[in-house]
Amino acid sequence: MYFNYNKSYTKIARNLRKDMTPEERHLWYDFLKKLPITVHRQKNIGNYIVDFFISSKNTVIEIDGLQHDMPINKEADRQRDKDLNALGLTVLRYTNEDINKNFNIVCDDILTRLDIRADTLKD
């Protein structure tokens, strides 16, 4: 499925791929990269850059830092999710704390939601 995107965000997305947060890096290198499906990092969709995008499952994965706890950012996240849902996408959100303290639970949740068996992960 193809989504329109804001071309002015292309360079920003490229830079974000180079400068992933430690939690994004951990999830990417220690789990998402091993999935038997294609996962895009810092994908430009509409007027947003999402952390991870799995087009074959119409799923976005977002990793939220502390700034997402602020009321203004919570509202922006709700609107973002609503806009992405309107495109037919499911948004999965995890916090930095989830990644740091409950990594295996996060990975299991992602596998369940994507309907992927753990024994199909790449080495």
Tens digit of pLDDT for each residue in 25-53?
Answer: 999 999 999 999 999 999 999 999 999 99
Nearest to 58 by CA among 80, 90, 93: 90
Q: Look at the domain 7-115 and name its fold.
A: Endonuclease; Chain A (3.40.960)
Backbone angles phi, psi at 122, to 5 degrees: -80, 150
What does the alpha-carbon distance between residue 82 and residue 50 come to, in Å, rounded to a whole number? 14
Provide the residue ranges of all domains of the chain, joining segments of one domain with +.
Answer: 7-115
CB 77 within 8 A of CB 60: no
Q: What per-residue confidence (pLDDT) applies to 69? A: 60
Residues 6+ apart with CB under 8 A from 9: 44, 47, 49
pTM: 0.89
